[in-house]
Amino acid sequence: MKIYTKTGDKGSTSLLGGTRVSKADQRLNAYGTIDELNSFLGLVADQKVNENRREMLHHIQSQLFSIGSLLAAEQGKSISYLPDLEESEVLMLEEEIDAMNEHLPEMKNFILPGGHPSVSFCHVARAVCRRAEREVVFLSNQESVAQIIVIYLNRLSDFLFVLSRKMAYELGAPEVKWNVRGK
């Protein structure tokens, strides 16, 4: 199988189901941002501090790949091989957030990205996750999108924020606190 097909050379691509759309279509913006998030999550998983969480982070990456597939599917076509995103995946993120939060100091300030390169990578993933959520919400204003996708992305960004704090804690890195006056 060749990787290049040349069918997209004029700025269009096929959705799962066969319909061709512009590469500037909002559906592509949404699942393209999910792909970007998945790449950044791979970078977060590769950080040494996340050795014990790597399997869970790879599971989340698989869920993101499923979300991308669901978003790439043509509206109204039933594609049997596409996975469903289950509410249990959202509950898993909530449980992980709660477990990490139990061992973290109380947050009394807003936290700026930084303190350690590994922590910063996690903040980048969180920011891309928020953008992916906005892109999916924008798409859902135009056509039907499963609400569980928006909920999952919202919870995932919360997870990534808490993970960044947990990583900083485990690395002994300072949390960079936001100072209103910039001092």
- Angle at 43 (CA atoms; ends 37, 47), nearest 5 degrees: 140
The confidence score (pLDDT) of residue 164 equals 97
Q: Who has greater pLDDT, 24 or 103?
A: 103
What is the domain partition of the chain in residue ranges? 23-73+84-177
Nearest to 125 by CA among 139, 135, 113, 111: 113
Q: What is the pLDDT of residues 49-86, one digit of tens each?
A: 999 999 999 999 999 999 998 998 877 666 656 678 88
- Angle at 128 (CA atoms; ends 95, 73), nearest 5 degrees: 85
Query: Which pTM value belongs to this model?
Result: 0.90
Q: Which CATH class is domain 23-73+84-177?
A: mainly alpha
The confidence score (pLDDT) of residue 73 equals 82
